Amino acid sequence: MKNFIIIVCFLSLASSYAKDKQDKQALQNINDLDSELHSIDTQKKQTLIGGDIKGKGIVRINKGGIIDPTFEKNWVAGGFNGPVHKIVSRKNGSVVVGGDFTLFDTSLVGHIAILHKDGTLDRQAAKNMGVGFNGAVSAIEIERDGSIIVAGDFDDFNGTSVGRMVVLTADGKLVRDLDKNRTIQGKINTLGNLYKKGLIMVGIEDSEINSAVLKNK
């Protein structure tokens, strides 16, 4: 019995050490990026990191703390040509990415893109979004029905005049403008969806007001 307890304790310590080692390796890999990081999306087996990562904008780190090269193996000319500000994963494994960029790999994208779980661009969504937004995207949230709330420092989506926050379908088509009255003049840098009340709270930069609440309809 005593030997059994010793073995269990040893295995527990070994597991803890291995996890600690993985965590340290992950931190070291993140530090090695030597970049300003803006968004981290953690999933069960992987973590997506977005920021001012030169030539990429986004990387995927697997459970062992290693940067996953398979995520970018299909890229021809690199990832995003500017900083990624927000990454949000979806149930199907795809990710919605927003930031201050106009190019992903060899495709023109207007500050927003949807990537498949293998790191390639969702070309149908890109086609639906057209030229996208005319300014940086800094906040994204996925609604229960799969639609996408997008906010940032823009006033146009694919040639249509919009406020600083809009709703898109899951595949990138414009549904509605959430700031039709143009009450927000500064950049929206964060948002929170108050589902039960049908409201969205936002944080604002470069404006006389630093927060606001809008109706989600």
- Sorted by where each begins, the domain ranges of the chain are 1-32, 37-215
All residues at 6 or more sequence positions from 32 whose CB lies less than 8 Å from its CB, including other chains: none
pLDDT (tens digit per residue) in 70-83 = 999 999 988 999 99
Find out whether 150 and 173 touch, Cβ atoms under 8 Å: no
Q: What are the C-alpha distances in Å from 79 to residues 18, 51, 55, 86, 174? A: 32, 12, 6, 15, 25
Range with lowest mean pLDDT among 9-18, 30-39, 62-71, 86-95 = 9-18
Q: In what order do the strands lie in the sheet with 58-62?
A: 37-42, 46-51, 58-62
Average pLDDT, the chain: 84
Q: Residue 188 has which token pair?
A: 């929206």
How many whole angstroms separate alpha carbon 209 and alpha carbon 214?
14
How many whole angstroms separate alpha carbon 83 and alpha carbon 51?
5
Sequence-ordered strand ranges (E) for 116-186: 137-142, 148-152, 156-157, 160-161, 165-168, 174-177
Q: Is 9 strand, coil or helix?
A: helix
Find out whether 163 and 172 touch, Cβ atoms under 8 Å: no
pTM, rounded to two decimals: 0.83
pLDDT (tens digit per residue) in 5-16 = 443 443 343 344
pLDDT for the residue 135: 97
Q: Is 176 strand, coil or helix?
A: strand
Range with lowest mean pLDDT among 18-22, 100-104, 155-159 = 18-22
37-215, what's its fold?
Neuraminidase (2.120.10)
Residue listed under structure tokens 């295995």 = 11
Please provide the DSSP assignment of 39-55 as one string: EEEE-SSEEEEEES-TT
What is the mean pLDDT of the segment spanning 39-53? Answer: 87
